Amino acid sequence: MAVELPAIEPKVFPPRREDEPLSALQKEILELKDKRNAIILAHNYQIEPIQRLADYLGDSLGLSYAAAEADADVILFCGVHFMAETAKIINPGKTVLLPDENAGCSLSDSCPAEKLQAYQEQHPGLYTVAYINCSAAVKARSDLICTSGNAVRMIEKIPADREILFVPDQNLGSWVARQSGRRMRLWPGSCYAHVLFTARALERIRADFPDAPVVAHPECTEAVRDLADEVCSTEKMIAFCRETAAQRIIVATETGMIHRLQRDIPEKTFIAGPTETCACNECRFMKMNTLEKVRDALRNGAPEIHMEESLRQRAAVPIERMLEWSRS
């Protein structure tokens, strides 16, 4: 017998009002930022008070370019560990700070470098494509990096006679395989937060808001992707939500994204995609960063990302390939 879903009040974000004035803590952060000649890069899933302070706010692809082009002594990365590590790999001469060094990623953890190495040794000759949500050690073992924003384009550039191993996200991998028509071996990893969205929970909210299209991140399961009106990276969600004629949109990704959407498209209403047990969905790692930790990181110059130079050089190769291929 099918179990009934508990009744959940939908989380609706109506058209956005004016900004509150900056708090004393936010002003202190901006002063420290100037003093240290720092730049703040923030991912779309950060809390709203951090998003407001960012010099650049975006998805993993945009953040990689922003890191590559950063003209500052210090990069304060408000995101998770693999993102700050990527910034360090492409900016060895800069100090890269992460407000909470424990801000990890379940997807990155699902592909330890030793297991990848063992698999590659058992199956030589594979072309390894790693989603950017992985450790530096996994990047160093990969031929090419991709993000959700460029994955299909990257796969299409790989010579047709090469067999592809896609790590670590099986959901993004199966979406890309379908979009590109390329067969690929998929590593069995996933994002703990995105797999909490279910087709059943989304069908139910869609019945409450029948005029609202569903936009979903490709880290969601196939059942969720199949019912979505659009599947895309967080940055591309902005364009979809702006261009659709709909005034209300259901957003199946981490809720921080809705602050970004409200800022860029203040006239529309956004409804957080629910899970089976909750009206919205937060990544506990992204939410480890707080204003206090941002202030302390700038004040103390720590926690800082460090990396062994030979690892950094090996990890830089597939990232630079991605940055170059993404431009063309």
Spell out a b/e string for 170-192, using b for 16 or more CB atoms within 10 Å of the CB, else e: bbbbbbbbeebebebebbebbbe
Question: Which partner in ligand 13P, ligand SF4, none is near 258 (CB below 5 to 8 A by kind)?
Answer: none
Question: Which partner in ligand 13P, ligand SF4, none is near 234 (CB below 5 to 8 A by kind)?
Answer: ligand 13P
Site string for ligand SF4, 181-210 (x = CB under 6 A): ----------xxxx----------------
Site string for ligand SF4, 258-287 (x = CB under 6 A): -------------------------x-xx-
Site string for ligand SF4, 147-166 (x = CB under 6 A): --------------------
Separation CA 228–CA 208 (nearest Å): 16
Separation CA 141–CA 303 (nearest Å): 26
> Helix 60-69 crosses helix 309-327 at what angle (to 10 degrees)?
110
Tokens of 154: 């990257």
Question: Which partner in ligand 13P, ligand SF4, none is near 148 (CB below 5 to 8 A by kind)?
Answer: ligand 13P
Tokens of 149: 């924003």
Tokens of 94: 């800069």
Instruction: Count Cβ atoms below 10 Å from residue 265 Cβ, excluding itself.
Output: 17
Measured from the CB atom, the residue of 158 and 191 that comes closer to ligand SF4 is 191
Structural contact between residues 249 and 212, judged by C-beta atoms closer than 8 angstroms: yes
Measured from the CB atom, the residue of 60 and 110 that comes closer to ligand 13P is 60
Question: Which partner in ligand SF4, ligand 13P, none is near 85 (CB below 5 to 8 A by kind)?
Answer: none
Please report whether residue 251 would count as binding ligand SF4 according to CB under 6 A.
no
Question: Which partner in ligand 13P, ligand SF4, none is near 106 (CB below 5 to 8 A by kind)?
Answer: ligand SF4
Measured from the CB atom, the residue of 147 and 262 that comes closer to ligand 13P is 147
Measured from the CB atom, the residue of 177 and 298 that comes closer to ligand 13P is 177
Separation CA 58–CA 41 (nearest Å): 8
Please report whether residue 138 would count as binding ligand SF4 according to CB under 6 A.
no
Residue with token string 């009206």? 279
Q: Which amino acid is at 264?
A: D
Please tell me whether residue 43 adopts helix, strand or coil conformation: strand
Which residues of this chain interact with ligand 13P, rule CB under 6 A? Answer: 44, 59-60, 133, 147-149, 191, 217, 219, 233-234
Peptide bond into 168 cis (omega under 30): yes
Q: Biggest alpha carbon distance in the chain? A: 62
Structural contact between residues 212 and 12, judged by C-beta atoms closer than 8 angstroms: no
Q: What Rg value do the Cα atoms of the chain yield, rounded?
A: 20
Site string for ligand SF4, 71-90 (x = CB under 6 A): ---------x----------
Residue with token string 């900004």? 19
Instruction: Count Cβ atoms below 10 Å from residue 228 Cβ, excluding itself.
Output: 21
281: left (phi over 0), alpha (psi -120 to 50) or beta: beta
Separation CA 133–CA 156 (nearest Å): 20
Question: Which partner in ligand 13P, ligand SF4, none is near 285 (CB below 5 to 8 A by kind)?
Answer: ligand SF4
Please report whether residue 305 would count as binding ligand SF4 according to CB under 6 A.
no
Question: Which partner in ligand 13P, ligand SF4, none is near 233 (CB below 5 to 8 A by kind)?
Answer: ligand 13P
CB of 181 to ligand SF4, least distance (A): 25
Interface pick for ligand SF4 out of 95, 133, 275, 289 (rule CB under 6 A): 133
CB of 60 to ligand SF4, least distance (A): 9
Binding site for ligand SF4 (CB under 6 A): 80, 105-107, 133, 191-194, 219, 254, 283, 285-286
